[in-house]
Amino acid sequence: MSDEKKLGLPSVIATGVGLIVATSCLMSLGQGAGAIGTSFIIAMGIACVINIFTALSLAELNALMPNLTGGLAQYTLACMGPFAAIVSMVGGYLVCNTICGSVECAMFGNAMNSVFHTGIPSNVYCVILLIILIIANLNGVDMFAKIQNIVVYGLIFSLVLMGIIGITGIGTGTIVEQPYVLSWDFKDVFSLVGLAFFLFLGCEFVIPISKDVKNARRNIPLGMVLSLLIVCGMEVIVVFGMHNYTEWQTLAADTSPHILYGTSILGKAGMAWMALVSVFAVISTVNSVISSLSYICAGMAKINLLPQIFQKRNKKNAPYVGILTIGGVMIFINATGLSTTDSLSFLILIGCVFWMVAYIISNINVLILRHRLPKAPRTFKVPLGPVFPILGVLGNLFMIINIDSNPQVQSRIYLICILIFAALSVYAFIWIKKVMKIKPFKSIPMPKVMAMENEMYPITHQKIKMGK
């Protein structure tokens, strides 16, 4: 690819922001702001900084092991072995993204009900949308790719403009008289850092395009950090706008806070505006989740971390087993009635715990490779030695410990996560022992992990095993 065709920093930022921002983020934003008012911005700032630490660690891993499609699975395979790779990738990305994608669908269904009042259950909208997206992906046609940038910039423009209208008080709605802050108690703020974490997920998905980025050494880490800061700034503007037009208590209880906010500011015009934003955002996000996760499954199967069936492709060259599996699970989650504020928030927090564990492992991977390969060439290295990776680990542990202020809800989240991790651990042990036939906690040399990316590796490896 010529230099003229390579992506610059603006494209990296657009990709990062587009992956982070989704309508389900507005669910978390409404929940957090509605609970403690504008002091939720403190929780947002803490979560943003912790995610920046992890973004830098992932940038260093990519610099040391560039152009790997498996990402975290391959980094962890080279650092901690196949057991941690399977559990972290399946739990930290496949399970987590499936849950988050389901939440996104539920937000779409709730938005449609809020706008059109057809009497059709919210989950019906969700299931219909998922079936359409599954069919689109099975046909190997990403029909939304051409409008992805329009969707992203449209969403950002809409939220910033709505926030500014709210802050300046020039909307057609009635301005609400209420305090800016409901609680300055740091216990209340810390208990919402886990929820705020959800507002900043996804910037690491910039890494797969790094081979096409001009001056990747600078633009990948800088692009991820700027993406997080831009999103944080945008959401701060929206929180201040919400203060002027939506009562905190009403905001916290609403299943579609962005629709409520749009309606409060500009009436029916604002409601329609935010509904349109919701439609495009959910189409873009969920389509990307189904597509990317199915290819991740195929990539993991390629290096023998998942059953080979996930590599199967149809006539359109689409990894149909992964598409049907992931789409089917999302349909099941939504068909069971995922449409209330409590269940949406609960699922978001479960997904966050899985993602936090994946981020902890990513930071630990950096520390392991710093110790094991201190002189290996890195086009990017996290500054200040081990300080940022260690802070990333501690920050994510802090968010897991403070995932919810309600001890009962917290216990339920931990229980579900433990059960899922236990099931994944059993699968990982059986798979590694019976199929891979290697030691579960022994790392695979980095050159070998990178060689697995080559399409000829499975064929050559099989010939060696057969003695040919």
- 229 versus 300: which is more confidently predicted? 229
* Weakest-pLDDT range from 266-275, 287-296, 392-401: 287-296
Q: How confident is the model at residue 131 (pLDDT cuts 50, 70, 90)?
A: very high
- 466 versus 209: which is more confidently predicted? 209
Q: What is the pLDDT of residue 453?
A: 67
Which CATH number does the domain housing residue 316 bear?
Answer: 1.20.1740.10
Residue pLDDT, tens place only, 389-413: 999 999 999 989 888 778 898 899 9
Whether residue 142 has pLDDT greater than 60: no
Q: Yes or no: say if 265 and 238 are a contact pair by the CB < 8 Å rule.
A: no
Q: Yes or no: say if 245 and 175 are a contact pair by the CB < 8 Å rule.
A: yes
Q: What is the pLDDT of residue 213?
A: 76
Residue pLDDT, tens place only, 222-268: 888 998 998 899 999 999 999 999 999 998 888 778 888 889 999 98
* Weakest-pLDDT range from 7-16, 153-162, 360-369: 7-16
Mean pLDDT along residues 375-397: 89
Q: What is the pLDDT of residue 232?
A: 92
* Weakest-pLDDT range from 192-206, 266-280, 442-456: 442-456
Q: What is the pLDDT of residue 37?
A: 93
pLDDT, averaged across the chain: 82
Q: Yes or no: say if 133 and 290 are a contact pair by the CB < 8 Å rule.
A: yes
Mean pLDDT along residues 202-226: 79
Q: Yes or no: say if 96 and 358 are a contact pair by the CB < 8 Å rule.
A: yes
Does this model's pTM top 0.85? My answer is no
* Weakest-pLDDT range from 53-62, 252-261, 284-293: 284-293
Written as one letter, the residue type at 348 is I
Q: Yes or no: say if 98 and 106 are a contact pair by the CB < 8 Å rule.
A: no
Whether residue 15 has pLDDT greater than 50: yes
Written as one letter, the residue type at 185 is D
Q: How confident is the model at residue 464 (pLDDT cuts 50, 70, 90)?
A: very low
Q: What is the pLDDT of residue 4?
A: 47
DSSP code per residue over 259-316: HHHHHHHHHHHHHHHHHHHHHHHHHHHHHHHHHHHHHHHHHHHHTTSS-GGGG---TT
Say what the alpha-carbon torsion angle 60, 64, 66, 70 is, to the nearest 10 degrees. -80
Q: What is the pLDDT of residue 460?
A: 57
Q: How many domains does the chain have?
A: 1
Sign of CA dihedral 390, 207, 89, 235: positive
**Measured distance CA(109)–CA(123) in Å, rounded:** 6
Say what the alpha-carbon torsion angle 411, 403, 254, 257 is, to the nearest 10 degrees. -160
Q: How confident is the model at residue 282 (pLDDT cuts 50, 70, 90)?
A: confident
Q: Report the Cα 432 to chain-centroid distance in Å.
A: 27
Q: What is the pLDDT of residue 466?
A: 42
Q: What is the pLDDT of residue 229?
A: 93
Mean pLDDT along residues 105-121: 80
Under DSSP, is residue 339 helix (H, G, I), strand (E, B) or coil? coil
- Tell me which residue range forms the domain holding 177: 3-465
